[in-house]
Chain A
Amino acid sequence: MAHDLKLFHAFTACTRVTLTALEQAGVPYDDHLLDMARGEHRCAEYLAINPHGKVPALLVDGRLLTENGAILRWLNAEYPSAGLFPEPGSELETARQLSDLLWVSSGWHPYVRAVKVPFMWTTGDHAPVRERGSELVAGVLRQLEQRLDGQDWWYGSQWSIIDTYLWWACINAEIGGFDLAAFAGITGWRARNEAHPALVRALRREAAAQTALEQKQT
């Protein structure tokens, strides 16, 4: 079924994962890159679209869908041939895919925030928050390394959108100063992610939106 889709996203945000999912689905969509530096996510116009003032937000035929994990599950249900997740063999397996998404959104994502933008978690010194964030990220990275031992992707031999979500978390920790080199087991997986065509297209789309925004400002 053809839907009218519009994604609200932000430069380098976890919306990269949502963009990748849309690219993987291969459906046409509009996008609007919010100018976070100028607080566009908190202006009345955007709050009228998404009262939470967050990204990603996807308008589906004018109806709002928020939360990255929920958007990815909806895209998977709507465009099953995209292979965003493996075909589950049971209701329990479906729930375990959801569990993996929640692990990233409620674990990895807030941990990475402590590393990359520690001021989000404190009104005081950044250093002890970043240090704690690094401990938390190291803990989940070890679990990722263990899982990838002997397999190319999170679910085995096939890419899934979980790989892109985890990749996004890893590189954001790196942007925050976390040294990924200590985790040799993820090096190959990271390269595979960065070569995945839908991610390549998503980053191109994001860069184009960012360039357009910068041109508008000058």
Chain B
Amino acid sequence: MTDLTLFHLPGACSRVTLTALEHVGVAYKDHVVNLMKGEQHSPGYLAVNPRGKIPALLVDGELLAENAAILSYLHRRWPEAGVLPRATDPLEEAQILADLFWLASFWHPTVRAMRMPVRWTTGDPAPIKERGRQLLAGPIAAMDQRFAGQEWWFGDDWSICDTYFYWVCTAALEGGFDFGEMPGILAHRARVEAQPAFRRAIVREQSAMTMSTADGA
């Protein structure tokens, strides 16, 4: 049996990691890192993950950082769970990996410009937010088209890319992006919210937050 501990923050992109763990159905411990209190820079957390970021997964005490790497690991370790589609050849496996890279390296830093523009400037956040909106407009419209024709990221079946993309859109929404005219994306959001592992992840986040607040009291 593998001993797993996830370091996360409710609402952060670690929500995607939690969903993957819930989907796999394996037992794991979790620990909230309160970014608002700067806990990611505390000596205690830096001893876990020297990069001071979440999510971080301890696998039998060994660190695995970066969300997409954790998702890929969970898929390879428990392939029957269907965190990602089953690839028919190595190139298809790489194409699926490319989608994870795209989510982590394009979508995530770009929605950061909308939701947390101060992360990209020492000055006025407004032009960063506006640039983020510009960068997202085309790709979001393309995803809206995709979800007009298919239910999930890869077609007929849910995968963790759906939850990751949902999280990206949530961040864009919180940053003020308007999805009003995007029925494909809105329908996709409803499907992701109804997915059982996602619902369990939200419950787990809520209880983690309650315990974390109790700890701090």
Instruction: Give bound CA distance, A60 to B128, whole Å.
Output: 37
Of residues 45 through 94 on chain A, the ones whose CB sits less than 8 Å from some CB of chain B are 51-52, 60, 63-71, 73-74, 77-78, 91-92, 94
Instruction: Give bound CA distance, A143 to B90, whole Å.
Output: 33
Contact A92 B69 (CB under 8 A): no
Category for how many chain A residues contact B? 35 or more
Contact A109 B95 (CB under 8 A): no
With CB as the reference atom, state the residue of chain A lying closest to B65: A99
Tell me the interface secondary structure of chain A in the complex. Answer: helix
Contact A69 B122 (CB under 8 A): no
Residue B51, interface by CB 8 Å: yes
Instruction: Give bound CA distance, A78 to B104, whole Å.
Output: 24
Residue B210, interface by CB 8 Å: no
Per a CB cutoff under 8 Å, which of B69, B102, B131 touches A96? B69
With CB as the reference atom, state the residue of chain A lying closest to B96: A70
Q: Given the known A-B contacts A73-B97, A95-B69, are A67 and B124 also in contact in the complex, defined by CB atoms under 8 Å?
A: no
**B-facing mask of A104-142, CB < 8 A → 1, else 0?**
011001100010000011111101110111010000000
Contact B128 A91 (CB under 8 A): no
* Residue with the highest number of chain A CB atoms closer than 10 Å, among B90, B101, B142: B101
Contact B76 A63 (CB under 8 A): no
Shortest beta-carbon distance from A56 to chain B in Å? 11
Of residues 52 through 79 on chain B, the ones whose CB sits less than 8 Å from some CB of chain A are 59, 62, 64-70, 72-73, 76-77
Residues of A within 8 A of B69 (CB): 95-96, 98-99, 102
Per a CB cutoff under 8 Å, which of A60, A92, A109, A122 touches B131? A122
Residues of B within 8 A of A105 (CB): 101, 104-105
Q: Given the known A-B contacts A95-B72, A105-B101, are A73 and B123 also in contact in the complex, defined by CB atoms under 8 Å?
A: no
Residue B91, interface by CB 8 Å: yes
Residue A183, interface by CB 8 Å: no
Instruction: Give bound CA distance, A129 to B125, whole Å.
Output: 10
Residue B130, interface by CB 8 Å: yes
Interface size on B, residues (CB 8 A): 43
Q: Given the known A-B contacts A128-B123, A131-B122, are A74 and B94 also in contact in the complex, defined by CB atoms under 8 Å?
A: yes
Q: Given the known A-B contacts A91-B77, A143-B50, are A122 and B120 also in contact in the complex, defined by CB atoms under 8 Å?
A: yes
**B-facing mask of A18-32, CB < 8 A → 1, else 0?**
000000000000000
Residues of B within 8 A of A63 (CB): 91, 95
Q: Given the known A-B contacts A71-B94, A74-B90, A106-B66, are A98 and B72 also in contact in the complex, defined by CB atoms under 8 Å?
A: yes
With CB as the reference atom, state the residue of chain B lying closest to A52: B102
Instruction: Give bound CA distance, A120 to B64, whole Å.
Output: 31
Shortest beta-carbon distance from A88 to chain B in Å? 11
Q: Given the known A-B contacts A131-B122, A143-B50, are A106 and B95 also in contact in the complex, defined by CB atoms under 8 Å?
A: no
Residue B206, interface by CB 8 Å: no
**A-facing mask of B119-138, CB < 8 A → 1, else 0?**
11111101110110010000
Residue B85, interface by CB 8 Å: no
Q: Given the known A-B contacts A91-B76, A121-B128, are A69 and B123 also in contact in the complex, defined by CB atoms under 8 Å?
A: no
Residue B203, interface by CB 8 Å: no
Shortest beta-carbon distance from B122 to chain A in Å? 4
Instruction: Give bound CA distance, A135 to B118, whole Å.
Output: 13
With CB as the reference atom, state the residue of chain B lying closest to A63: B91
Residues of B within 8 A of A124 (CB): 123-124, 126-128, 130
Residue B108, interface by CB 8 Å: yes
Q: Given the known A-B contacts A65-B94, A123-B131, are A110 and B122 also in contact in the complex, defined by CB atoms under 8 Å?
A: no
With CB as the reference atom, state the residue of chain A lying closest to B57: A95
Instruction: Give bound CA distance, A51 to B102, whole Å.
Output: 13
Shortest beta-carbon distance from B216 to chain A in Å? 27
Closest A-B pairs by Cβ, 4 of them: A128-B123, A124-B127, A70-B98, A99-B69
Interface residues of chain B, those whose CB is within 8 Å of chain A, are 50-51, 59, 62, 64-70, 72-73, 76-77, 90-91, 93-95, 97-98, 100-102, 104-105, 108-109, 113, 119-124, 126-128, 130-131, 134, 142
* 9 intermolecular pairs with C-beta atoms under 8 Å apart: A64-B95, A74-B97, A92-B64, A105-B104, A106-B101, A109-B105, A128-B123, A131-B122, A133-B120
